[in-house]
Amino acid sequence: MASRLTRFGNDLYTGARSYDFVAKRRIWYTIAIVMVIASILIPIVKGGFNFSIEFRGGSQFQITNVSTTAQGPAQKAVASVVPNAVALVTSVNNNGVQVQTNQLTAAQSAQVGDALAKAYNVSTKEVTSSFIGPTWGADVTQQSIQGLIVFLLLAFVAMALYFRTWKMSAAAIISLFHDLIITAGIYALVGFEISPATMIGFLTILGYSLYDTVVVFDKIRENSRQELNLTRRTFAESVNLAVNQTLVRSINTAVVAALPVASILFIGAYVFGAATLRDISLALLIGILVGTYSTIFLAAPMYAHFRQGEPEIRKHDIRVRATRPKAATTTSVAVPAE
């Protein structure tokens, strides 16, 4: 009666079924490096990220004495002059409309002004234009980056204290950067605008990635605490077992976290046409999937890798291999960790 995933979980728990996350780390490293390089190259090739008006500032049009404050005519008017511009439309005091677009040239500006006047059926005198500065200015970015750096440093120290090894911190932070870079790369590939909402999405990913890694690392800590006194597994094998034992949790959590986000992305943005939801939910969806992936395929193997050179671990591994000469007859002994 057990569901397939339950049985799958049982096998993973006992080790009856096991995936070589740790031993095959070269493959995962290669994939990670290729993905990261691609994610750095994509924005360069595509000419940088597409930052929204909140970051760059832009042109603002103020239309007064209008009879309707509907947003539609303004969007159409802007699109008729600059087809790919994003227009933010706000109504002012019930008799005015304010339209913000990306920075336009003087000629475009004049054309948009005329189009807007026509769209709202007012004389061109009622339309004024000006330059609007960024609401997410350099000072906000700078403060946020400062906050992030402080957070990463403290998180590094806190994890090192909790797990009693800085190597877990290092593995967790490296995979965190991996996640962020790949998410940004995919984002650049899709070409969506980077808005403040996207930035918040990136921050959420950062939290999720680290969170997911800590959960799995805690299982590794739990397992390896006593493994070193036994001769059942090499260190790398015990790390691998812990990852396998938490695999069902990783899958379940990723599915549960991703379902609402995916629903917002596909149903909210595409079916209902809530475009702004698109930015943040895309960032979140990619982040959740990449974050879960990197904990298993990158952070855990890296951690085993970082520690295998330690004298204590090496001695332990030699002892373990010495106890299993007969095992070598069933299949060839692949050295689990060199």
Nearer of residues 37 and 274 to another protein, judged by Cβ? 274
Nearer of residues 38 and 166 to another protein, judged by Cβ? 166
Nearer of residues 40 and 228 to another protein, judged by Cβ? 228
Between residue 145 and residue 204, which ones bind another protein under the rule CB under 8 A? 146-148, 150-151, 154-155, 158-159, 162, 196-197, 199-201, 203-204
- The mark string for 5-44 relative to another protein (x by CB under 8 A, - otherwise) is xxxxxxx-xxxxxxxx--xx--------------------
Other CB atoms within 10 A of residue 300 CB: 30
Nearest alpha carbon to residue 334 among 245, 240, 247, 242: 240
Nearer of residues 37 and 161 to another protein, judged by Cβ? 161
Between residue 264 and residue 303, which ones bind another protein under the rule CB under 8 A? 264, 267-268, 271-274, 276-277, 280-281, 284, 288
Q: Is residue 84 within the footprint of another protein (CB under 8 A)?
A: no
Q: How far apart are CA 139 and CA 248, in angstroms?
A: 43
Helices (H), the chain: 4-14, 25-45, 53-56, 72-81, 106-119, 138-163, 166-190, 196-227, 235-245, 247-263, 275-294, 300-307, 311-322
Nearer of residues 36 and 197 to another protein, judged by Cβ? 197
Q: What's the Cα-to-Cα distance from 225 to each of 217, 229, 338, rounded to whole Å?
A: 12, 8, 22
Helix (H) or strand (E) holding 58: strand 58-63
Stretch that binds another protein, among 43-51, 75-83, 101-109, 256-264 (CB under 8 A): 256-264
Q: How far apart are CA 145 and CA 151, in angstroms?
A: 10
- Rule CB under 8 A: choose which of 252, 310, 318, 319 binds another protein: 252
Stretch that binds another protein, among 42-50, 179-187, 215-223, 305-313 (CB under 8 A): 215-223
CB of 96 to another protein, least distance (A): 7
CB of 47 to another protein, least distance (A): 25
Which residue do the tokens 């403290």 mark?
A: 154
Q: How far apart are CA 88 and CA 66, in angstroms?
A: 17
Q: What is the total count of residues that contact another protein (CB under 8 A)?
A: 125
Nearer of residues 123 and 329 to another protein, judged by Cβ? 329
Nearer of residues 95 and 121 to another protein, judged by Cβ? 95
Nearer of residues 107 and 138 to another protein, judged by Cβ? 138
Stretch that binds another protein, among 72-80, 109-117, 230-238, 304-312 (CB under 8 A): 230-238
Q: What's the Cα-to-Cα distance from 320 to each of 116, 138, 227, 323, rounded to whole Å?
A: 78, 56, 10, 5
Helix (H) or strand (E) holding 101: strand 96-102
- Rule CB under 8 A: choose which of 46, 65, 143, 312 binds another protein: 143
In the Cβ-directed half-sphere of 64, how many Cα atoms lie within 13 Å? 4
